[in-house]
Amino acid sequence: MDDEFNMSMRKFLKQVGVTSQQAIEAAMRDAGASATGKTFEARVVLTIDGLDLEHVVTGKIVSPSE
């Protein structure tokens, strides 16, 4: 793959990572004490129009215990 492709992909993945972390942290703050010490199932679905791509990533996020 060429450099332009690699750079655009890295830029997109960085944006996904940073904005997703911000959204998760905001949701944890908004949930307040009701989320404390809990484990949440997380799922991300990546689709790319025109490539017939659907990629699913699942995992667990453990909220702070205070």
What confidence tier does 16 reach under pLDDT thresholds 50, 70, 90? Answer: very high
What confidence tier does 38 reach under pLDDT thresholds 50, 70, 90? Answer: very high
18: which 2 tokens?
A: 């940073």
Q: Which residues pair with 55 in a beta bridge?
A: 46
What confidence tier does 1 reach under pLDDT thresholds 50, 70, 90? Answer: confident
Average pLDDT score over residue span 42-60: 97
Query: Looking up tokens 């942290």, which residue turns up?
Result: 25
Q: Which residues pair with 44 in a beta bridge?
A: 57
Measured between alpha carbons, how far is 11 from 6 in angstroms, rounded to an integer?
9
pLDDT for 19-30, tens place per residue? Answer: 999 999 999 999
State residue 29's pLDDT score: 93
Structural domain spans, the chain? 3-62
